[in-house]
Structure 1
Amino acid sequence: MQAWQDAGLGLSTASNEACKLFDAVLTQLCRDELPAFLYHSCGNLLISIVMGHVIANGLELIGTGSSVRLNKDLASAMNAMMSLSRSQPLTEREKLHVLALDAFASGRLPKACDLWEQILHSHPTDLLALKFSQDTYFSLGYHIQMRDSVAAVFPFWTPEVPLSSYVKGYYAFGLMETNFFDRAEKLAREALDINRTDAWSVHTIAHVNEMKAEVEKGLAFMKETEDNWKGSDVLSAHNYWHWALYFIEKGEYEAALTIYDNHIAPRLLLSGSMLDIVDSSSMLYRLHLEGVKLGNRWDSVPKCSKKRTKDHLLLFNDVHVLMSSLGAKDQKTTDELLTTLQELAKVPCENHELSLAPSIGLPLCQAFVEFENGNCDKAVDLLYPIRYQLIQLGGSNAQRDVFSQLLIHAALNCKSQAKQNLAKCLLRERDVMRPNSPMTERLIRRAAAVHSVA
């Protein structure tokens, strides 16, 4: 308790054990470990303090993508947190944490970030506020804010501050997403020099190599570091996903599928987490666009994704659930996802994500449906006008690249000469941003072949 007080992050409790447990869960969160054991063995002690409720509910809301609208247990836990916060004297920092999580739960994600920023202005070493805000900025597509939020507190994270190396990794990721690739890689490698098992910093370097289309460098890095990050609870499968993307980029599809079969699919069936659903759906759909025969691999994804059909917490997640239902040719689930999203989008509310559904989320979903139905011209008509708005759906630049690939493939398959010309323009753009990309070169050759036939 005194240590938290000395750090300027006092917890409103007289229990040293509760403070130790909060510290342990926060440490596991930074290390990309799942604190399930602590919940089961010490859950009552953790939620004896308000900040215990905050971290437990935050992990459920932000970490797993659960919704208070559909998860009665989570709704009850949030109510218990709010009730406890009103019954105890709290610090201003703790009150802001409660308000931020309440805002997130009601879909007011930008407001939640504003409240976490208020905390960081006065308490720059509040790691929970930093971590939750980073994750939420990512979901909003606010990459500049994600970078600058860490930049503002970074000088306070000196080497003697516990877990400071992980903050280097957060900063590196924000730099990478805003195209400061060299600075991002340098900082991520500094973090790895301190802690080679930092899966998030490995993940940042994987992104750098992906965005620069430095395929051989990326493959070598993943192979060299695999033993250091493959034990990560949260990011191991996602790092394997990045590894597989390099093989897809090269056109070595069997190598990519081997990674999928050995590491990504088994993890999905084990965890059922939203990140693993996104990775599986996105990877299989990229291979589908490349014309790869996938056998029955799609069939296992809806076993985990179908229960998320009505969540509509994040539109980015919805689109990936849709990919899985389209891949498995599950028309009922596809219709259910689109219908329930359309109905929710009609109801006036403060929910940030649902406010984007009519203008961005639904047109994107419908573009996928039209493409799968062979209506490529319609898919382009839906997707091309919103392509610069898709960042608002969140995710990383690498993750959203599947939407760019869809647009290019749809345009290439259009009957209209104008849209075939559009495909060539899109490929020239891509070639500038990712020089020497094998995938771009393949698609440029295909576009030239289409033109010569025409």
Structure 2
Amino acid sequence: AWKAEGIQISTNSNEAARLFDALLRQYVSWSECAQLGGMDKTLSKMIEAEPNAIMSRVISLGLEAMGTGRSIRLDENYQNELKQLLDDACKHGTTYEKNHAKAINMFANDKILAACEEWEKILNETPNDLLALKFAHDAYFYLGDKQSLRDSIARVFPKWKSTTPCYSYLYGMYAFGLEECEQYDEAENYAKKGLELNKYDAWATHALAHCMEMNGRIEEGIHFMESTETDWNKCFLLACHNYWHIALYYIELGKYNEALLYYDREIGKRVKSATMLDIVDASSILLRFEMEGVSVGNRWKALLPIVKPHVNDHILAFNDAHIRMVIEGCSDSTIRKNHCDSIANYINNNYGDNNERTRNFGKSICDAITSYYNGDYHEVVQTLSPIRHNVYNIGGSNAQRDIFTQLLIHSALSSTKVSDYKLGKMILEERNMVKKNSSLSQRLLNKYS
């Protein structure tokens, strides 16, 4: 089937090829195939079928890389496996396999922009290569590159046949890129089309949830997400994040009990998976509660053992900011010092795309979170205000990064400096232009006026 699509895979095992397909489908659909025992079992059976197959190792190591929870600087086995893959691909692989091995090595070595170029070269030759498309889509998200998030799908969409397996998932992927570029009407149309073709597409659901969030259609968003819950919550890998969106809606409305219920029933339990996306969801929602004056009790403490293994990773500045939220939420001065020292050491002794973003933006955001918890609101303003229009460089979505805008607004309006207060009002107006009909903005205006 791969050869019929013009994709040159060198495996001799039909079983390995079949399981590769199954794993790729699970990755793209954010779901676990119960019949095959989920992604982990599918992956181990695939490797077992042909341990040295290049593309089996590409997807295996690629999924590790895209999970952003395993650092090549700290994990020698991971480093060796990636190097071995590249060596083997260069010696025995097809050009296609060699390019894939090269791209994954680049991504893991913090050459994220170069990895994206490599995936685009692959897609130029084989536009129907779903693996390259999904890897690039995820990487553009990590770079905060919304235009490429959109256009990487736009470039290949017309070249796909509607009969090609997984074709329907392109609608949700394209919809999310459109939404991040603030093309909400088009985004909504594509997301709805994706859901017409497959109502279980959690990423298309997610794109639609973003449109409603950014347009201030909060009640509609709650109804949509809750009425389709049994469709999208089957997609185990994205379910926590979609529940995060519902909790976000309720916080926007000031319905904190409902939001906390979703945290306790879903997000707080699912974060035990220890995936970075789930950690980001849990930490950012707790900080939002605290900024709204809601006590979260011991919920921060439950997150600390989950983030501790990642304190020295520094794979994405976006992750580091959320790790810092947990550290500050727990008021753990020892881990705070470790994290601060580790970031400084990482900046000074490494180089790469995330390294540069951490140096220019990530460290400042982490410092601002610490200053906020210390009650040093003027320092938060001094740190965050100059970079506020460039925070997108650390990755994530508009909805996710709104937490840094909220942090800045709260700090500016709480500061004793008149100039900070005036700036806070201005930034609140900026936010109102981006997030229409926001009850949260209105609450802030009422609170600080």
TM-score (norm. length: structure 1): 0.95
Q: CA deviation at 1:22?
A: 1.2
Which residue does 1:356 correspond to in 2?
357
Which residue does 1:71 correspond to in 2?
75
Q: Please show how residues 310-321 of structure 1 align to structure 2 within 5 Å.
A: 310-321=312-323
d(CA) in 2 for partners of 1:146, 1:337:
31
Q: CA deviation at 1:76?
A: 2.9
Q: Is the 8 A contact 1:424 1:447 kept in 2?
A: no
Q: Which amino acid is the alignment partner of residue 306 of structure 1? A: K
Q: Is the 8 A contact 1:144 1:174 kept in 2?
A: yes
Bigger mean CA offset, 77-86 vs 308-317: 77-86
Which residue does 2:236 correspond to in 1?
233
Q: Which amino acid is the alignment partner of residue 26 of structure 1? A: L
1:174-199: per-residue Cα shift (whole Å, max 9, x none)?
Answer: 00000011111110111111111111
Q: Which amino acid is the alignment partner of residue 428 of structure 1? A: E
Which residue does 1:304 correspond to in 2?
306
d(CA) in 2 for partners of 1:432, 1:26:
39
Matched, 1:410 2:414: no
Q: Is the 8 A contact 1:411 1:420 kept in 2?
A: yes
Query: Quick one: which of 25, 28, 31 aligns to 1:27?
Result: 25
d(CA) in 2 for partners of 1:433, 1:22:
41
Q: Is the 8 A contact 1:64 1:274 kept in 2?
A: yes
Which residue does 2:36 correspond to in 1?
none
Which residue does 2:369 correspond to in 1?
368
Which residue does 1:62 correspond to in 2?
66
d(CA) in 2 for partners of 1:431, 1:40:
49
Q: Is the 8 A contact 2:13 2:50 kept in 1?
A: no
SS at 2:2 equivalent:
helix
Q: Is the 8 A contact 1:157 1:167 kept in 2?
A: no
d(CA) in 1 for partners of 2:381, 2:9:
53
1:357-401: per-residue Cα shift (whole Å, max 9, x none)?
Answer: 232111111111111111100110000001111100000000000
Which residue does 2:295 correspond to in 1?
293
Pair 14,86 (structure 1): closer, same or farther in 2 beyond 3 Å: same
Q: CA deviation at 1:348?
A: 4.9
Bigger mean CA offset, 222-231 vs 72-81: 72-81
Matched, 1:219 2:222: yes
Q: Is the 8 A contact 2:175 2:186 kept in 1?
A: yes
Q: CA deviation at 1:77?
A: 2.0
SS at 1:235 equivalent:
helix
d(CA) in 2 for partners of 1:77, 1:133:
21
d(CA) in 2 for partners of 1:419, 1:434:
22
Which residue does 2:168 correspond to in 1?
165
d(CA) in 1 for partners of 2:59, 2:350:
30
Q: Is the 8 A contact 2:214 2:436 kept in 1?
A: no
Q: Is the 8 A contact 1:315 1:357 kept in 2?
A: yes
d(CA) in 2 for partners of 1:139, 1:402:
17
d(CA) in 2 for partners of 1:69, 1:410:
35
Q: CA deviation at 1:418?
A: 1.2
SS at 1:33 equivalent:
coil
Query: Quick one: which of 88, 97, 101 aligns to 1:98?
Result: 101
d(CA) in 1 for partners of 2:198, 2:395:
28
Q: CA deviation at 1:92?
A: 1.9
Query: Aligned residues, how many?
Result: 443
Q: CA deviation at 1:14?
A: 2.5
Matched, 1:201 2:204: yes
Pair 431,64 (structure 1): closer, same or farther in 2 beyond 3 Å: closer
d(CA) in 2 for partners of 1:41, 1:55:
13
Which residue does 2:192 correspond to in 1?
189
Q: CA deviation at 1:64?
A: 4.5
Q: Is the 8 A contact 2:67 2:275 kept in 1?
A: no
d(CA) in 2 for partners of 1:30, 1:358:
32
Matched, 1:41 2:42: no
Q: Which amino acid is the alignment partner of residue 28 of structure 2? A: C
Q: Is the 8 A contact 2:287 2:325 kept in 1?
A: yes
Q: Is the 8 A contact 1:345 1:354 kept in 2?
A: yes
d(CA) in 2 for partners of 1:343, 1:185:
44
d(CA) in 1 for partners of 2:46, 2:117:
31
Matched, 1:323 2:325: yes
Q: Which amino acid is the alignment partner of residue 394 of structure 1? A: G
d(CA) in 1 for partners of 2:265, 2:192:
28
Q: Which amino acid is the alignment partner of residue 108 of structure 1? A: K
Q: Which amino acid is the alignment partner of residue 331 of structure 2? A: K
Matched, 1:86 2:90: yes
Which residue does 2:9 correspond to in 1?
11
Gaps of 5+ in 1: 449-454
Which residue does 2:143 correspond to in 1?
140
Q: CA deviation at 1:13?
A: 2.3
Q: Is the 8 A contact 1:423 1:447 kept in 2?
A: no
Q: Which amino acid is the alignment partner of residue 270 of structure 2? A: R
SS at 2:405 equivalent:
helix
SS at 1:427 equivalent:
helix
Bigger mean CA offset, 433-442 vs 211-220: 433-442
1:104-128: per-residue Cα shift (whole Å, max 9, x none)?
Answer: 1110000000000001111100000
Q: CA deviation at 1:291?
A: 0.7
Which residue does 1:442 correspond to in 2?
443
Q: Which amino acid is the alignment partner of residue 332 of structure 2? A: D
Which residue does 2:35 correspond to in 1?
none
Which residue does 1:452 correspond to in 2?
none
d(CA) in 1 for partners of 2:86, 2:51:
12
Q: CA deviation at 1:46?
A: 5.0
Q: Please show how residues 257-276 of structure 1 align to structure 2 within 5 Å.
A: 257-269=260-272, 271-276=273-278
Bigger mean CA offset, 91-100 vs 244-253: 91-100
